[in-house]
Amino acid sequence: MSLDLKERTVVTQRELEVLKWLAEGKTADVISTILGISYITVNNHISNAKMKLHAVNSVHLVAKALRGGIIQ
């Protein structure tokens, strides 16, 4: 079950950065420090990516991004 091209290209560059850090096991708090943005902004990026990829939680989001080739 892979993502179609539309789903692969729908995430923003910043959402992609957040996804990559999530896949490394980083928390939203740590990601906010790494990227120099607020914790709330990180959570907004995660929420937006979950909606776009139809994921129910962050683990599901990372799994779908990996399976869909959005992140490696």
Q: What is the rounded distance in angstroms from the CA atom of residue 1 to the CA atom of residue 24?
A: 23
15 within domain boundaries: yes
Q: Residue 44: which domain range? A: 5-67
72 within domain boundaries: no
**Model confidence over 22-47: pLDDT tens digits?**
999 999 999 999 999 999 999 999 99
19 within domain boundaries: yes
So what's the pLDDT on residue 23?
97
23 within domain boundaries: yes
In the chain, how many domains are there? 1
30 within domain boundaries: yes
Q: What is the pTM of this model?
A: 0.87
Mean of all residue pLDDT scores within the chain: 91
Report the CATH number at residue 48.
1.10.10.10
51 within domain boundaries: yes
Q: Are 65 and 19 in contact (CB under 8 A)?
A: yes
